[in-house]
Structure 1
Amino acid sequence: MVPSPDGRQSDTAAAIQRGVGRLLRTQGFAIVYELPLATGRRADVVALGPRGDIWITEIKSSVADFRTDGKWPEYRLSCDRLFFATCAAVPLDIFPDDTGLILADAYSGELVREAPEHRLPAATRKAMMMRFGQAAAIRLHGLIDPGAGGVEF
C-alpha cells in the first residue's frame, strides 16, 4: 500500500523529495518526510543514518521558495547536518555555504556539497530519535489499518 500525496507540495518539490529519498536510501539512511519538530516547524526530509546521525534536508523548488523562507536556520537545532535540496532549474549559488547541498530530480539525487557537522546534544538526539520512530511507526500502522484513528504525525 502506498500513501497518496498530501497536496502541500508542488510537482517539482515532490520530484526533488523523491530524488533526495533515493539518494539517502543508497547511503543507508531511513527517511521520514514532513516530520514535525519540537519547535513546531515541519522538516521536509529527516534522515536517520546507520550510526545514528540525523540529517535534515530542506527542499527548495525555486529561487522565490528559498527567498521567502526564513525558518530554515531553526532546523540546525534538530540535526547533526543540514542540507538544502533543489533541482537543476535553481541556481546553486543562492544557498548558504555553511549548509550541505543536494541536486535532485524524480529519479535520483547527487550530493553537491557536504554539510558541516554540528553534533546534537544527547538529550536532543534522543528526543529526535523518539519523534522519528514514533512518526514512522504511526504512519506505517496507518497504511495497514487506515481506520484505526489516534495521533497523526
Structure 2
Amino acid sequence: MSEPAFALSPLTMPVDGRQSETARALQRGTLRYLAARGLMGVPEFGLASGRRADIAAIDARGEVWVIEIKSSVIDFRTDRKWVEYRLHCDRLFFAVSPDFPLDILPEETGVLVADQFGAGLIREAPRHPLPGATRKALTLRLARTAAGRLMGLMDPEAMRGIEL
C-alpha cells in the first residue's frame, strides 16, 4: 500500500498571550462540544465590526453561533462588548466554568458550562436569524479565515504578510 501524498499531524492553536489558562480550557472544551454537535468553530474570529469573537461556529445548514467565553465574574462584569455580537450570529452563547454563577448571565443568551474536556448545554440560545446579505458575508469570512489558518499551519511562509 502506498503512502498518502501528505499527512497532517495533530494541529494545536498557538498561544497568543491574551487568554488565561481558564479561558483556554473553556475554549478547548467548547470547541469539542461544538464539533460533537456538528458545528465547526473558529476561535478568536474577527468580526466585520472590528470586534473579535472568542468563538464563531457554523453548522451544515449555515446557522452561525457566537460563543463568548467568560473566565470569571470580573471578566463578565467588565466586558460588555458581547451585546454587539448579536448582529453577527443567529445564536449567542456564553461559555463559563462549572463554578460560575449562572444567574448573572443574561436570559436572552444561551449558556454552556465547559471545562478542558467538553461542555454541556445549560440553556439554549434564542434564534434571531441573520439577514441574507450579512449571512453571506459572514459565511465567506468564516471560510476564508479557517482556510487561511489551515494554510498558515501547513505553509507559514505562504501566509507571511496576509491578514485574515
Q: Is residue 128 of structure 2 the alignment partner of residue 102 of structure 1? A: no
The CA distance in 2 between the partners of 1:118 and 1:90, in whole Å, is 26
SS of 1:44's partner is strand
Normalising by structure 2, report the TM-score. Answer: 0.91
The CA distance in 2 between the partners of 1:22 and 1:31, in whole Å, is 9
Residue 58 of structure 2 corresponds to which residue in structure 1? 48
The CA distance in 2 between the partners of 1:3 and 1:76, in whole Å, is 26
How far does the alpha carbon of each residue in 1:50-87 deviate from its partner, in whole angstroms, 9 at most, with x for none? 11100000000000000001111100000000000000
Higher radius of gyration, 1 or 2:
2
Residue 152 of structure 1 corresponds to which residue in structure 2? 163
The CA distance in 2 between the partners of 1:72 and 1:3, in whole Å, is 23
Which sections of structure 2, spanning at least 5 residues, go unmatched? 1-10
The CA distance in 2 between the partners of 1:3 and 1:28, in whole Å, is 20
Structure 2 residue corresponding to 1:27, chosen from 37, 40, 43 = 37
Q: Is residue 139 of structure 2 the alignment partner of residue 91 of structure 1? A: no
Matched-pair identity in %: 56
Structure 1 letter corresponding to 2:90: D
Residue 76 of structure 1 corresponds to which residue in structure 2? 86
Runs of 4+ in 1 over 6 A off after TM superposition: none
Residue 14 of structure 1 corresponds to which residue in structure 2? 24
The CA distance in 2 between the partners of 1:114 and 1:41, in whole Å, is 24
Structure 1 letter corresponding to 2:161: G
Structure 1 letter corresponding to 2:105: F
Residue 141 of structure 1 corresponds to which residue in structure 2? 151
SS of 1:142's partner is helix
How far does the alpha carbon of each residue in 1:113-135 deviate from its partner, in whole angstroms, 9 at most, with x for none? 00000000000000100110010
Bigger relative contact order, structure 1 or 2 (CA pairs below 8 A, ≥6 apart): 1
CA RMSD of superposed structures (Å): 0.9
Normalising by structure 1, report the TM-score. Answer: 0.97
- Tell which deviates more after alignment, 83-92 or 114-123: 83-92
Note the C-alpha offset of 1:145: 0.6
